[in-house]
Structure 1
Amino acid sequence: MTVTSPDFLASLVSDAEADGVTGFVAAAVVTDADRILLVRRKPDDFMGGMWEIPSGKVEDGESILEALHRETAEETGLIIEKVNGYVGHFDYPNSRGGTTRQFNFTVAVEKTEPVVLTEHDAHQWAHPTDLPPVSDAVRDLIGH
């Protein structure tokens, strides 16, 4: 079963719902050679100054893959050409008192530049062994 198949994506959602997860986020691991694109949260944001991979909320009526494409384009200006794989998920508490599950996918983009930020204040292409301040979950994800 491919990661883009409706059955696979439906199983991700049903597993999350069975675990009591109330929010879904789609995230893109964008690579350029051996480096990964990271974006930094604005200082006045929740978890301000933290570096993360491009990600965003799955809206009502939207599939995980639709959110993945939309959020990557909105946050970075980059267009996903292909979803290569699913690299797992992690959960975290959200601002509404529930749990959010972040679904992480490796992707190929049409072009790696220019990166145009709309919600973050900086970006960098980081080597997995030399990361700026990221969450433990992101560090573990990139370390795979």
Structure 2
Amino acid sequence: MVDASQFEKLTTVAKADGVQQLVVGAVVQHEGKVLLLQRPDDDFMGGIFELPSGKVDPGESLDDALRREVKEESFLDISAIREYIGSFDYESGSGKKSRQFNFSVDVRAAEPIELTEHDAYLWAPLHDDLPVTDAVKDVLQKYRELRAVRRD
């Protein structure tokens, strides 16, 4: 499980690196598949599939933002934040240097999913070549590696 000190350290390092916008992403896994959400066509990076993710509000902790964003985007409730998987940096649609922190999470129930900000969702097998950006592919590869280590 991820503890509060790790969330604080990630935030501190990002600010020292000049990151202007913090973002959280969740790897929600159920029965060997991962939840992906499709961005609306008219949105920044429209049409791509992504992890449930979103901006951290001012004064909000990473864990609170993660719970809120997963709830807002899928209507699923996080029951546990398992581990930190890694981050990637990118320039947001508004030109801000952004860092997305990614965590594996457990949810209370995998259904029903209600979309409020996305056009579609899919439960994609982890072993497939997934329709996501290279940065998300890297996150999911690291997640697969962490799962393999835990099984050993």
TM-score range, shorter chain: over 0.9
Question: TM-score if structure 2 supplies the norm length?
Answer: 0.89
Structure 1 residue 131, shift from structure 2 partner: 3.9
Structure 1 residue 4, shift from structure 2 partner: 2.5
Structure 1 residue 129, shift from structure 2 partner: 2.4
1:79 aligned partner, one-letter code:
D
Equivalent position SS for 1:31: strand
Could you say which residue in structure 1 is the equivalent of 2:89? 91
2:63 matches 1:65: yes
2:121 aligned partner, one-letter code:
H
Could you say which residue in structure 1 is the equivalent of 2:117? 119
Equivalent position SS for 1:120: coil
For residue 107 of structure 1, the aligned residue among 91, 105, 114 is: 105
Could you say which residue in structure 1 is the equivalent of 2:38? 40
2:28 matches 1:4: no
User: Runs of 5+ in structure 2 lacking a partner?
Assistant: 143-152
Separation (CA, whole Å) in 1 of partners of 2:103 and 2:129? 19
Separation (CA, whole Å) in 2 of partners of 1:42 and 1:128? 23
Structure 1 residue 40, shift from structure 2 partner: 0.2
Question: TM-score if structure 1 supplies the norm length?
Answer: 0.94
Contact 1:4–1:65 under 8 Å retained in 2: no
Structure 1 residue 20, shift from structure 2 partner: 0.9
Larger % of helix: which?
A: 2
Contact 1:27–1:55 under 8 Å retained in 2: yes
Separation (CA, whole Å) in 1 of partners of 2:116 and 2:130? 20
Contact 2:7–2:62 under 8 Å retained in 1: yes
For residue 18 of structure 1, the aligned residue among 16, 19, 38 is: 16
Which shows bigger deviation, 33-42 or 124-133?
124-133
Percent identity (aligned): 47
Moved over 2 A (4+): 95-98
Aligned length: 142
Structure 1 residue 28, shift from structure 2 partner: 0.8
